[in-house]
Structures are given as C-alpha cells and as structure tokens.
Amino acid sequence: MEEVFIKWFEELKIEDVPSVGGKNASLGEMIRSLGEQGVRVPNGFAVTAYAYKYMIEKAGIDIKIKEILSDLDTHDVHNIAERGEKIRNLIKNTPIPPELEEDIRKHYREMENRYGENVDVAVRSSATAEDLPDASFAGQQETYLNVRGEEELLQKTRDCFASLFTNRAISYRVDKGFDHFSVYLSVGVQKMVRSDLSSSGVMFSIDTESGFSDAVYITGAYGLGENVVQGAVNPDQFYVFKPTLQKGYRPIVEKKVGSKEKRMIYSDHGTDQQ
C-alpha cells in the first residue's frame, strides 16, 4: 500500500483501486480520459486507504476494534448492532493525527483556490476491496453532501471512516469470508454540481437486467442525484442503442416518464426534500 495520505483525482488510474477504492479510481479515469473530449468532471481528491490505516493504527484503536469484534455473533442482530455502534463511536471520537489533518486542510484550501471560499463538496466513502462476481461492497458506507469548511470536512471524513463498520458491512464481510482488517476505506472529496437547479441521474453502460452490452440505460430525476441512487424516487428511464448513436442517428429505443415525486435540493443546513 502506497504510503501517501492524499491524491488528486487527476493523478489516479484504475490500478489505484487498492489505494483509493473503485469509486475514486474511476473518477480519476473519467477526469483523465473525458477531459480531453470536453466533458467536465468536477475535480477533487482522495484521502487514501493508507490514511485510514495510519489513523487507526497510530491511535491504537485497531486493537480495541479487534477486542469489540472478538465475540461477534452475526446471527444475533442485537449483538451486531451493539458492536457496530461501539466501533463507529470509537472512530468518530478519535482525533485525526495532526499531520493527516493538516494535509486534508491543505488540499481543501487548494480546492477553495480553484472553486471559491468555503467550497461545497461531496464526501463519499470508497472501499478498497474489489467487487467480485459473488460480492459487491457498493452502498455499504456513507456519503455526505453539501459539506462546507475545513472543520465539517474533517468530521465527515471520520464519519466515512467509521461507516466501514456499519452493521450491514460487518455482517456482509463475515458472510463473504472477508477479514475486517483486509478491507480499507478511502474518502473521496469532490466539488458538488448544482444539479438541484436542474436534474441528475445514473447511467449504466449496459442493460442492467439482461446484460446486453449494446444498450446504455439512463435514469434521471429533478434535483440532486441521491434520490435516484437510493431508489427513493421513480425516475425517467431511457434506453440508448450504442451502434445507432455511433452512426449519428436517433439512438433512443425506449423511454418511460417517471413520477419523480421528490426533489432533493440545497439548504443552509445540508439537503432538504421537496
């Protein structure tokens, strides 16, 4: 594991998954590849898995976490919940080492230079274990939107670190045979886009139901994209046929209008639903 606390997205390649997780590595690839084609991907940086490991080990709480998990019973939901809460509180209340804290502050200040004072960022967890055919770590850790200022960023970084031990994540790792200390967490800090003023969504490069590789499946709804990601809203849906698109013809082969009952927007206190 490369001993670096932070890397800018434009430095990252897919080979960096062990250091920054699949989400951050993919963002790096997008910025490097799509930027040349005029596609603007919001920039940011990744707090690496090494930084997480450094904090846990320097504070000595890795030993405490092992003690808390020593009598874990994944068949007892109360047992999992109790131990998960203890570990999360332990991490959330552990000070970030000064050298790591200063590095995070320095990179956030650089983002302020790029985007303006008190820049709003999304703070996203990116687990470093690669998804396998029978195991996917997506959606098990936390995401925080509209984070502003150095102090809030530091707190949300710790909250992301702590979310490696959500009850679901603990149980899932045991079920799939992963050691709790072989999966690390990276944190992505990315400039937010004001999609609450328009719309946002999710695009899949293949048809998710059939696996058909020549179709792109796109979903969209008004406001910030978290509602679509969480399945909290019924979005618009589009199927785009790749070969037709490449030939310059109208490529949409199917579309459905969703009800889009909710819209997530910015507020002075995080995000609000409408």
Residues 103 and 234 in one domain: no
d(CA 22, CA 13): 10
User: Nearest to residue 30, comparing CAs of 205, 148, 198?
Assistant: 205
Domain count, the chain: 2
Mean pLDDT of 150-162: 96
* pLDDT score of 132 more than 50: no
* Phi/psi of residue 127, nearest 5 degrees: -70, 145
Taking only the tens place, the pLDDT of each residue in 234-245 is 999 999 999 999
* pLDDT score of 4 more than 90: yes
* pLDDT score of 73 more than 80: yes
Residues 44 and 64 in one domain: yes
Q: What is the mean pLDDT of the chain?
A: 90
Which pair of tokens denotes residue 46?
């990744």
Amino acid 201: pLDDT:
94
Residues 84 and 210 in one domain: no
* Phi/psi of residue 47, nearest 5 degrees: -80, 115
Amino acid 90: pLDDT:
96
Amino acid 136: pLDDT:
57
Is 124 within a domain?
yes
d(CA 114, CA 109): 9
Residues 199 and 88 in one domain: no
Strand partners, 143: 124
Task: Tell me which of 178 and 188 has the higher pLDDT.
Answer: 188
Residues 140 and 90 in one domain: yes
Is 1 within a domain?
no
Mean pLDDT of 81-105: 96
What's the whole-model pTM score? 0.88
Residues 145 and 133 in one domain: yes
User: Nearest to residue 148, comparing CAs of 269, 6, 27?
Assistant: 269
Mean pLDDT of 87-108: 97
Residues 171 and 223 in one domain: no
* pLDDT score of 185 more than 50: yes
Amino acid 139: pLDDT:
62
* pLDDT score of 133 more than 70: no
DSSP three-state, residue 259? coil
Amino acid 129: pLDDT:
66
Give the strands of the sheet with 252-256, arranged side by side.
Answer: 199-204, 215-222, 236-241, 252-256
Is 177 within a domain?
yes
Residues 183 and 54 in one domain: yes
CATH of the domain at 174: 3.30.1490.20
Task: Kindly state the DSSP code that residue 119 receives in the 8-state scheme.
Answer: -
Residues 45 and 115 in one domain: yes
Print the domain residue range for 220: 195-273
Tell me the pLDDT band of 85, cut-offs 50, 70 and 90.
Answer: very high
* pLDDT score of 97 more than 80: yes
Tell me the pLDDT band of 124, cut-offs 50, 70 and 90.
Answer: very high
Last residue of a domain, one of 191, 219, 242: 191
d(CA 199, CA 175): 38
Taking only the tens place, the pLDDT of each residue in 25-72 is 999 999 989 888 888 899 999 999 999 999 999 999 999 999 999 988
Mean pLDDT of 148-161: 96
Task: Tell me which of 168 and 186 has the higher pLDDT.
Answer: 186
